[in-house]
Structure 1
Amino acid sequence: MEDFHWTKLFNPEFYITMEIGGIPVGIYMVLFIVFAETGLFAGFFLPGDSLLFLSGIYSRELVQTFFYIPSDFSNVTVLSLLIATAATLGNIFGYWFGSRSGQFLYQKEDSFFFKKKYLIESQVFFEKHGGKAIIFARFLPIIRTFVPIIAGIVHMKKTKFMFYNVLSSLLWSFTLVFAGHYLYGMFLEEFDIDLKKHIEKIILILIGVTTFPLVMKAIKARKTNKTSE
């Protein structure tokens, strides 16, 4: 058995291929992490976007935990729907928490699992984009963790929240899972490149793409602050 190292916790492939007692539990880990990114406020270190992309690559192995589906398209569709459901439930929990006790987060001290600046940045993001922020936030690490909480704090109308919640969950899961699955097939057939052998590079690229908007936003904010001084 390969030795465990804590750095594996940041590698989405570790969760996807996880086994307990020889039993594959990857699908359960994927669904739990997707829920936890918004439901348990741990999105700043859990591998969200890269996890979904790689899940698309391993879609057959993941879905076979429940049942065997011969059709590739059906496999990816079922997996996307399962992930969308977990993402929807995570946002609902985040909204509920925000509506009931979210205000205390503004007085909470920073810790390893919580940074107040992320909450404030998410509030600014939500105030700027309104309901659409729930859709945009799905594709932005950290922001997607706190936006549903902000929606609960400001008591966003539940029907409006659920509309954007379900829509964003479907867009996020189907886009990334389908992209992972069919890009894997295309690279394998057209270029004889097995993306499973380049997981680390894929993760780095996805992290770069998803965090680029946040970096640019931080740079812009810093320039604005310097100008106003």
Structure 2
Amino acid sequence: MDLITLALAQEPADGIAGWAADLVDKMGGPGAGLAIALENLFPPLPGEVILPLTGFAAGQGVISLASALFWTTLGSVVGAAVLYWVGMLFGRERMYAIWGKLPLVKTSDLERTEAWFGKHGTKAVFFGRMVPIFRSLISVPAGLERMSMPLFLLLTALGSLIWNSILVMAGYWLGDQWDTVETYVGVLSKVVLVLVVLALVLYVAVRVRSRNSSAQHERSS
């Protein structure tokens, strides 16, 4: 019996889980690594499905647990490295040029962000690998700021290993209930997304208020 039949009692075989199960079935550990590399490049692909499913596959003997952890972590590093290069090739000058054309933002905002990343970038990359949504995005500013490539890869590998191990081991221990992991991580992802949206709304509101206050001050003077 193949992994798709074992794992997808409640999932459509042509969905993301079916696609990931088929990769693991055909390619083993490298298939899981490829799925996670693509998940890093295309965040809509749900790592909270792929990683527990890989753990389930390890529990069923389709691949070894060591292989599951090695290949998924390697896939995370490869995907992150591609995004790092995207950020590096895009460059600071182009970023500043685009930023300067955006409404409600100032160059000083970007300068402060760069200063913050220069001071806290190592922690941001390491812990960012364990935060839904930011797992992929954090690689781009690391490239923009040209963080040391060896340091970036080390931090990415360590952070990814911790996060991947949690989800892979959850799938391994939960067995045919591996898909419950998606529910809990999905809730965390939604909480993070809501917080990001609220932060953006607050930022825009402060900027609009500041602009209106400046306009009123100029008219009264």
State the TM-score, normalized to the length of structure 2.
0.65
Is the aligned partner of 1:195 residue 2:171? no
The 5 Å alignment of 1:113-124 reads none
Equivalence for 1:30 = 32
**How many angstroms does 1:11 deviate by?**
4.5
Deviation (angstroms), 1:129 = 4.2
Change (3 A) 1:152 1:227: closer
Matched, 1:176 2:167: yes
- CA separation in 1, counterparts of 2:14 and 2:186? 11
Find the counterpart in structure 1 of residue 109 from structure 2: none
2:19 corresponds to? 15
> What is the aligned-residue RMSD (CA, Å)?
3.8
Contact 2:53/2:171 (<8 A) preserved: yes
The Cα offsets for residues 174-210 of structure 1, whole Å up to 9 and x where unpaired, read as 121112212x15xxxxxxxx415xx3x5433321123
TM-score (normalizing by structure 1): 0.63
Name the residue aligned to 1:68: none
Q: In 2, distance between residues paired with 1:178 and 1:165?
A: 19
Corresponding position of 2:105: none
User: What is the CA distance between 1:165 and its match in structure 2?
Assistant: 1.7
Residue aligning to 1:54? 53
| Deviation for aligned residue 1:33 | 2.4
Rounded to whole Å, the distance in 2 between the matches of 1:220 and 1:9 is: 38
Residues 50, 206 of structure 1: 8 Å contact kept: no
Gaps of 5+ in 2: 6-10, 99-111, 210-221
Does 1:97 find its partner at 2:86?
yes
**Contact 2:33 2:71 (C-alpha < 8 Å) held by counterparts:** yes
Please say if 1:153 is aligned against 2:144: yes
CA displacement at 1:225 relative to structure 2: 4.2
- 1:92 is displaced (CA, Å) by 2.0
**Paired residues, number:** 185
1:63–1:78 contact (8 Å) kept in structure 2? no
CA distance in 1 between counterparts of 2:159 and 2:48 reads: 13
Alignment equivalent of 1:204, drawn from 183, 187, 193 = 183
Moved more, 146-155 or 55-64: 55-64
Cα distance change, pair 162–129 in 1 and its aligned pair in 2 (3 A)? same
Following the alignment from structure 2 to structure 1, what is the Cα–Cα distance between the partners of residues 89 and 188? 34
Quick check: which has more Rg, 1 or 2?
A: 2
Residues 100 and 217 from structure 1, CA distance in 2 versus in 1: closer, same or farther, beyond 3 angstroms?
A: closer
> Is residue 58–residue 68 contact of structure 2 (8 Å, CA) maintained in 1?
yes
